[in-house]
């Protein structure tokens, strides 16, 4: 007679959870004939546990053990619930009983680890782990290691998570779940070299394991060996040309070594294999931007912005393509939009520069002023503000701002030069010469910035003499 007959008979005997609840109520009311079977208690405990009524589940486990005190299943369930409730020592008392009745239960060692870690007794947890490693083999060991991974993850012992995955993949090197987890945890823990060694061994034995190649590639990518990573991704796509994440990561590696055309090809493959994503479209736009193909860059930035209309960065990148073409008039609208969406210092500086180029000096100064107030230690913001004041012939305010910038930024030498031309603009020539001397003494290369702003300086013989003197000193 088949053993399945008895299993079917037991399944038929199990009513719905509603029937079990009614039976328990009847038993509570004194009808001793309605005592629940062991498996019915298990279902009842699970019912309250899944309903997130932990106290009721613990109560049911206590009552159940009064009638089935030697049931390792019920002892395990009670210990599990007590651990969830933070009663670690109490849980260990029940687990010690399980160790007597059923020492080969995987859950025994998993829960002991859980309880000991809850008590911060890592040595005892490690001892339980080592006992299980010695006791189990085959599928049981694999199951235990997966459970141990979850326990260590819960207690944020991420190094042990990685260690468990190594043990797993040494035993079941083609397990997809373990390989996927290893990809994540390698990156999380930064243990790239160990991952490389492990996956090379797997590939030596199983050269067509695409996930092993993928993990090897991501590990190389993690230590910035991008060429090696790209080679591995190419093996992945040779084995499985539908592996979209391989193309995605390959594109990232290609972009990092400035192979933008090849990066575009990989990203276009991603678009073929999966639904369009704003990050992929943005990355293609970035590649075209780097290749100075601004029209194509704008096309993909706009596609990305259409999918992510609240992302101010994409609107800003559209503006940057116009700026790189010196098309300031076209850049104005997306710059204004990006500032309205997210008024960052970077966006305001760019908008101020755009307005400056369009000779809207007063409007430009408003934005530059806002940035220096919000980011007073940002030297580039002060430079933009000072340049705007100079072009507006507001030399008195420029003098005050240059002194303030010098003090706030810790005495950056560039501001000697801006102070000098502010003084020259007010015909305070002697004071200006002193500040120019100060600047040349500290960093003569900065003179180039103010020369671009006011090339007429070289018509002044005193200034030419100062420059010549420091040029000779440099020699």
Q: Is 19 inside any structural domain? A: no
Q: How confident is the model at residue 30 (pLDDT cuts 50, 70, 90)?
A: low
Q: What are phi and psi of 397, to 5 degrees?
A: -65, -35
Share of the chain above pLDDT 90, in %: 82
Q: Is 43 inside any structural domain? A: no
Q: How far is CA 420 from CA 181, 239, 361, 433, 467, in A?
A: 62, 66, 21, 7, 14
Q: Is 248 inside any structural domain? A: yes
DSSP-assigned states of every residue in 224-244: T-HHHHHHHHHHHHHH-TT-H
Mean pLDDT of the chain: 93
Q: Is 24 inside any structural domain? A: no
pLDDT given for residue 15 in this prediction: 64
Q: Is 258 inside any structural domain? A: yes
Q: Is 243 inside any structural domain? A: yes
Q: Is 262 inside any structural domain? A: yes
Evaluate if residue 220 carries a pLDDT over 90: yes
Q: Is 344 inside any structural domain? A: no
Evaluate if residue 347 carries a pLDDT over 70: yes
Give the integer Cα–Cα distance in Å for 364 and 356. Answer: 6
* Contact present, 152 and 161 (Cβ < 8 Å): yes
pLDDT digits (tens, 9 = 90+) for 234-291: 999 999 999 999 999 999 999 999 999 999 999 999 999 999 999 999 999 999 999 9
Domain that holds residue 251: 173-274
What is the DSSP-derived secondary structure letter of residue 51?
Answer: T
pLDDT digits (tens, 9 = 90+) for 96-105: 999 999 999 9
Give the integer Cα–Cα distance in Å for 415 and 307. Answer: 44
Alpha helices by DSSP H, 85-207: 88-101, 106-118, 122-135, 138-154, 158-171, 176-189, 192-205
> Tokens 């299980």 map to which residue?
132
Count up the domains in the chain and report the number.
Answer: 1
CATH for 199: 1.25.40.10
Mean pLDDT of 440-446: 92
Six-digit token pair at 362? 């007063």
């Amino acid at each position: 007679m088949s053993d399945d007959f008895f299993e079917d008979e037991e399944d038929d005997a199990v009513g719905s959870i509603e029937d079990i609840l009614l039976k328990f109520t009847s038993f509570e009311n004194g009808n001793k004939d309605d005592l629940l079977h062991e498996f019915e208690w298990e279902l009842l405990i699970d019912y309250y546990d899944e309903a997130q009524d932990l106290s009721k589940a613990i109560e049911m486990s206590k009552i159940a053990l009064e009638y089935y005190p030697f049931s390792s299943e019920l002892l395990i369930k009670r210990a599990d619930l007590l651990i969830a409730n933070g009663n670690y020592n109490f849980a260990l008392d029940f687990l010690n009983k399980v160790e007597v009745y059923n020492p080969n239960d995987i859950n025994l060692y998993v829960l002991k680890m859980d309880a000991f870690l809850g008590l911060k007794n890592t040595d005892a947890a490690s001892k339980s782990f080592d006992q299980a490693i010695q006791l189990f083999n085959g599928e049981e060991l694999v199951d235990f290691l997966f459970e141990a991974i979850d326990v260590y993850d819960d207690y944020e012992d991420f190094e042990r998570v990685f260690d468990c995955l190594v043990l797993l993949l040494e035993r079941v090197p083609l397990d997809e779940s373990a390989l996927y987890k290893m990809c994540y945890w390698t990156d999380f823990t930064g243990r790239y070299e160990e991952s490389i060694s492990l996956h090379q061994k797997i590939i030596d034995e199983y050269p067509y394991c695409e996930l092993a190649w993928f993990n090897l590639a991501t590990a190389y990518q993690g230590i910035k060996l991008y060429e090696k990573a790209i080679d591995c991704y190419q093996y992945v796509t040779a084995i499985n040309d539908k592996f979209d994440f391989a193309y995605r990561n390959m594109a990232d590696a290609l972009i990092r070594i400035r192979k933008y055309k090849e990066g575009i090809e990989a990203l276009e493959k991603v678009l073929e294999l999966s639904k369009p994503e704003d990050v992929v479209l943005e990355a293609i736009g970035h590649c075209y931007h780097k290749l100075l193909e601004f029209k194509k860059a704008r096309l993909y930035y706009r596609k990305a912005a259409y999918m992510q209309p609240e992302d101010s960065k994409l609107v800003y990148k559209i503006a940057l393509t116009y700026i790189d073409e010196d098309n300031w008039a076209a850049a104005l609208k997306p710059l204004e939009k990006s500032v309205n969406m997210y008024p960052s210092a970077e966006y305001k500086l760019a908008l101020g520069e755009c307005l400056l180029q369009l000779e809207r000096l007063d409007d430009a100064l408003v934005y530059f002023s806002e940035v220096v107030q919000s980011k007073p230690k940002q030297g580039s913001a002060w430079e933009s503000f000072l340049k705007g004041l100079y072009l507006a012939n507001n030399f008195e305010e420029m003098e005050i701002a240059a002194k303030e910038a010098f003090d706030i930024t810790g005495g950056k030498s560039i501001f000697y030069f801006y102070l000098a031309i502010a003084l020259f603009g007010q015909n305070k020539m002697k004071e200006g010469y002193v500040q120019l001397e100060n600047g040349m003494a500290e960093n003569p290369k900065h003179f180039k910035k103010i020369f671009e702003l006011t090339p007429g300086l070289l018509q002044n013989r005193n200034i030419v003499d100062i420059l010549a003197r420091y040029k000779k000193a440099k020699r």
